[in-house]
Every structure is written in structure tokens, then in C-alpha cells.
Amino acid sequence: MYTVDILMVTYNHQDYISEAIQGVIKQKTNFDFRLLIFDDCSTDDTEHKVRECLSHSNPRLTILYHRNSINLGASKNGKQSHEHVVAKYTALCEGDDYWTNEFKLQKQVDFLEKNNNYSLCFHQVFQQNDKYKQLYTHKDKNIFSTEDLFEEHFIATCSVLFRSSVIIPDWIINCQSGDIVILILSSFRGDLYFMDEVMGVYRDHIGGLSKSHGGYNKILGSLETKLLIKQESNRINKEWLLRSLKYEVETHVLTAYKNELFYRKEREILIQLKTRKLFSELITRLKIKLFNYKRIN
């Protein structure tokens, strides 16, 4: 029986995938674990890079590689990876991120084994690209609940280990970010614990999945995901959704406006007008999306 299944989804990560896999191979544990690599029909040299790493010397690790015959898209590829989990715990590390601490898995498993009231733990990582390297999580506490997940994004995907007993819904394929679904559904089962130790790197590059969404689409995608979750649970309230909307707008729209226009005071009026128009459009589109969801389901 495997204690941890590591899900590594990848698409055109030829420049990064080897380092991602090596970070897993180097893990030192007192339990057996698997790395499940799901390649979404990459068109570059990703497959070759993966196959170079399949032979390794870690007796605790089993690596399985699956390559889709067609491109399914990130959400469907992610969903199918979860369907192959058999271990007690699930860890995530996308093909363009990597782990830097060889005891990362052992530390996280030890914590969850000793603390049944926690459903998930995550750790500090560096967020980096060609221009900068900085800490990802900026929090002054270690324990988080569902409500905290409706504020800023502060959990790096490559830092997450959660109990596999959480049920991944089929509708996750309709979500822009499956990570949010996993985090929130896990939080329904217990608190989340933050280990303030750098044990990985999140690559913030132009080809990354998070960079493929922006502006209106980023805001709509995030809120649609949370509305879908709200249909499953009465734990999410209106105030949390409004707080999330405010954060998404400030992060993905207003910041760009302010950076461009703050030199002229009168242009603040333009920002306000654009903000009102944005909220109006967002609410209209969200209502339509939610109505269609209820009608279909």
C-alpha cells in the first residue's frame, strides 16, 4: 500500500519537467509512494525528458507515466489524474514546479498522521522567474479555515498534501482552477496547516497555467468555481463571496489601472467608472452562468 500519490500534470514542460521529477526522486521517506505523471499530449520534448527519468534508484518510489492521445485541457487532465489515486494522501506538483527539500513528504505525512483534526498541510515556497525570487506565502499564522480561502491566494499548488478521502467532484472539469476546489473541499473536513519552511519553488513564467487566465476571465473563473462549491455546501456565505470578488477585482483589474494612471488625479474618476462598469458586467454574467447551471442541474 502506498502512503502518498504525487500527481504531476504536465503540458509542454520540456525545460522544467526533469527538475520536477528529480525533486520527487530525491525524497527520503520511511513509506512507499508513487509519482503519477499525466502528460496532456505535449507537442515539445516533454515525453523524452520524462522517459529519461523513469529509471531511478529510490527503492520507495514507483513512477507511472501516462500520455494522452489527444489534448484534453488542464481541467480534464487534472481530473483523470485524481481518478488514479489509491494512497492515503495526495501531493501535488505540476511539471513546471519542483521540490527543494528531500524530507518534504516525510514532514508533511508525519504532521497529518499526528494531527487528525487537520485535512491538509502546505508549506512555504519561493515564487520565481527570470527577474525575481520571493516568498509566496505572507501570513502571520499557521492555522487556516474555509473562510480564509475567500481572501487572497496564499497556497502554492506544489506545497499541498491532503487526505485522499476528499471526494473530487465531476464538475471540477468546468472549473478554471481545480486547486481552489481541492482546498475548499478539504477545508470542510478540517483545518489547513501552514509549515513556514521553504521546501519548493513555484515557477511564475509566461507559459504557466495561472498566466493563461487574466482580467474578466480570471475573475469570472474564480467566482464561478466558488459558486459551484456553494451549491454543494451551505458553509459558504454571501460575505465570503463578496470579499473574494473584491480581491479578484483589485488584483486582476484595478491594480493594472492604478499602475498606469495614478499620475493624474482626475483619472481616478475613470477608474471608478470602469470599476462600476466592471462590477455591473460581472454580476450580469455571473447571474447568467449561475442560472444556466441551475437549469441544467
d(Cα 137, Cα 125) in Å, to the nearest integer?
7
**202 and 122 share a domain?**
yes
- Indicate which CATH number applies to the domain containing 205: 3.90.550.10
Under DSSP, the state recorded for 252 is: I
User: What mean pLDDT do residues 7-13 have?
Assistant: 98
* Pure H helices in the chain: 17-25, 46-53, 74-82, 104-114, 178-187, 215-232, 238-249, 255-261, 267-296
Is residue 221 located within the same domain as residue 287?
yes
Q: What does the alpha-carbon distance between residue 237 and residue 230 come to, in Å, rounded to a whole number?
A: 8
Give the per-residue pLDDT at 287: 54
Residues 141, 238 within the same domain: no
Q: Among residues 196, 211, 226, which one ends one of the domains?
A: 211
The answer on pLDDT for 264 being more than 80 is no
End-to-end CA distance of the chain: 37
- Please state, in angstroms and rounded to a whole number, the distance separating the CA atoms of residues 5 and 164: 9
Q: Are 177 and 65 in the same domain?
A: yes
- State the average pLDDT for the chain: 86
- Segment 69-92 shows an average pLDDT of 97
Q: What is the pLDDT of residue 21?
A: 98
What is the model's pLDDT at position 294? 47
- Asked if 187 and 146 touch (Cβ cutoff 8 Å), the reply is yes
Which has the closest alpha carbon to 9: 20, 25, 1? Answer: 20
Q: Which of 189, 211, 233 is the C-terminal boundary of a domain?
A: 211
My answer on whether 44 and 114 are in the same domain is yes
* Statement to judge: residues 286 and 140 lie in one domain: no
The backbone torsions φ and ψ at residue 140, rounded to the nearest 5 degrees and listed phi first, read: -105, 20
Would residue 73 be called left, alpha or beta, if left means φ above 0 and alpha means ψ between -120 and 50 degrees? left
Q: Count the helix, strand and coil residues of the chain and give each as a percent rounded to the nearest 5.
A: 45, 20, 35
Q: Is the pLDDT of residue 244 over 50?
A: yes
How many other CB atoms are found less than 10 A from the CB of residue 19? 19
**Structurally, how many domains does the chain consist of?**
2
256 and 174 in a common domain: no
Report phi then psi at 109, rounded to 5. Answer: -65, -45
Domain closes at, from 211, 229, 254: 211
Residue 71: per-residue pLDDT: 97
Do both 147 and 281 map to the same domain? no
Alpha-carbon distance values, 126 to 87, 88, 134, 199, 267 (Å): 27, 27, 5, 8, 36
pLDDT, average across residues 6-20: 98
pTM of structure: 0.85
Shared domain check, 217 and 203: no
The upper half-sphere exposure of residue 270, i.e. CA atoms within 13 Å in the direction of its Cβ, equals: 10
Does residue 48 share a domain with residue 184? Answer: yes
Domain with 111 in it: 4-211
Q: What is the mean pLDDT of residues 228-257?
A: 77
For residues 241 and 227, the answer to whether their CB atoms sit within 8 Å is yes
Same domain, 113 and 150: yes
Q: What is the pLDDT of residue 11?
A: 97
Both 195 and 220 in a single domain?
no
